Structures are given as structure tokens and as C-alpha cells.
Amino acid sequence: MRKVVLKRKLRALQLRVELVKTLIRFLRKHPSLADRSVLCQVGEAPALYFFEKAYIRPVWTKRAVTLRLERDVPDAWAQLEDAQKRVVHADVSGLRPKELAKVLRKVDIDVKKAEQ
């Protein structure tokens, strides 16, 4: 019984580590976003938060971690009801810098300002 519980807890921790590693790889690929965002906790995972605009958070989808860009919705009840409306882009992890800049402009985030 103890081995089963231990194995389950270790697996849960490993899944959280994968979420963090995905966010680390993304920030290394797009370092200019570090100036424009802060780290915050969304659910059980860390996320990049762009003040009152949006956040990028790691999400598990069919055995892989994706980084989802979602609008920031101030009303907690609206978040629960309109989950799909919040999603701006399902996975930004594989985007090139120019593609990411274009997607971020949809939520009024100008990456070029951060680079200056």
C-alpha cells in the first residue's frame, strides 16, 4: 500500500515539474517576456501574468504540456462560465518570436516595447 501511495505522489510531483520545465523553456526562447510579465500561480501551476490583460499557463493535453494564452477576466464567475471564450491561443509554446508578437497583440501586449 505504501509503495502505491508513494508512486502516486512521485508521479504527481513529476507532472508538476514538467509544467515548470515547459515554462522555463518558453522563457528562454522568448526572454523579452520576462520584463512584461510576473510569475503567478494559476490553479496548481505557475503562469506568466501580463497585468490585467492575459496570462500564459501550462496545461496538460493528451500526454503533452501546452502553453495556453488566455485573457484575464476579473470576475471569477465569468471565468468559470466562459472558459473557451478566455482562450486566445491554444498553444504558444512552438511559436516564433514574430508569430508570438502577433498573437499577443490580440490582447494588447506589445512585445516590441519590452525590447526597447
Q: What is the pTM of this model?
A: 0.83
Domain regions of the chain by residue span: 2-115
Mean local confidence (pLDDT), 68-92: 77
pLDDT value at residue 81? 62
CB 90 within 8 A of CB 66: yes
Q: How far apart are CA 21 and CA 78, in angstroms?
A: 30
DSSP assignment string, 62-96: TTEEEEEEEE--S-HHHHHHTHHHHEEES--TT--
The 10s digit of each residue's pLDDT in 15-72 is 899 999 999 999 999 998 998 899 998 888 899 999 888 999 999 888 889 999 998 8
